[in-house]
Amino acid sequence: MLQLSSVERRELRARAHNLNPVASIAENGLTETVLREIEVNLKAHELIKIRVYGDSREDRVAYLEKICTELGAAEVQHIGKLLVIYRPNAVDSAAVNAKKSQKPRRPPAAPRKTKRSFQG
């Protein structure tokens, strides 16, 4: 299970505020299908929300621990029936940020046509 500092956790909570839940855990519990869907969304987004239907707080805590342990993710927040988890992508984020900061290259200019005077 991934561990986050309090500063990282605070920044991730702020980023997650406007997110919508991408997966739901209903009466069947945390099935393999739900785990697979969470895995796919973590690969795509890194930071996701999961909605848990049911009134048992103990079940929600158990689901959160199981998800984080099996998928190598970090718990960001558990508030009410929403779970927020984070797992950084395998791609080096420093390399991605460096690539984003580079200026886009302009295509080479086409050769200019010059006017030739007609001699005749």
CATH number at residue 42: 3.30.110.60
Reported confidence tier of residue 1, pLDDT bands at 50, 70, 90: confident
- 31 falls within a domain: yes
User: 4-34 b/e with 16+ CB inside 10 Å = b?
Assistant: eeeeebeebeeebeeeebbbebeeeebeeeb
Residue 95 has pLDDT above 90, yes or no: no
- 109 falls within a domain: no
- 117 falls within a domain: no
Residue 101 has pLDDT above 90, yes or no: no
pTM (whole model) above 0.85: no
- 107 falls within a domain: no
Q: Supply the range of the domain harboring residue 82.
A: 6-89
- 108 falls within a domain: no
pLDDT in tens, 8-35: 999 999 999 999 999 999 999 999 999 9
pLDDT in tens, 34-62: 999 999 999 999 999 999 998 999 999 99
Burial of 83 (0-12, 13-18, 19+ CB in 10 A): buried
User: Looking at the 3D structure of the chain, how many domains does it have?
Assistant: 1
